[in-house]
Amino acid sequence: MRRHPFVMAALGMGALFLALHLGGGRESVGLLSGTVVGGPWRMGIGVAYALSWFGTVLVAPALLLAGLADVMLGRVRRARH
């Protein structure tokens, strides 16, 4: 079975967010309120966590829906021909 690129991208975003969350990235998101604790390394982790959260919450559902719609339209096209 062929995996759709939109679905794979959405799952990749979710996996990245899960890895950063389990790695303790949530504690480093203080940079959004202007408090940087732990230096530039922790600030980078916080930025990556925040971006992956936004990607997982805002972009991944749209990618999943687009992948689902593309698969369903492909089935309709194949059934007509």
- Mind listing the pLDDT tens digit for each residue in 52-78? 999 999 999 999 999 999 888 887 777
Band (pLDDT 50/70/90 cuts) for residue 48 is very high
pLDDT greater than 60 at residue 16: yes
Task: Give the residue-averaged pLDDT of 49-54.
Answer: 96
Q: Which two tokens stand for residue 56?
A: 């997982």
Alpha-carbon gap, residue 50 to 66, rounded angstroms: 24
- How far is residue 44 CA from its own chain's centroid? 17
Short-list 8, 19, 20, 6, CA closest to 50 = 20
Per-residue pLDDT at 37 exceeds 80 = no
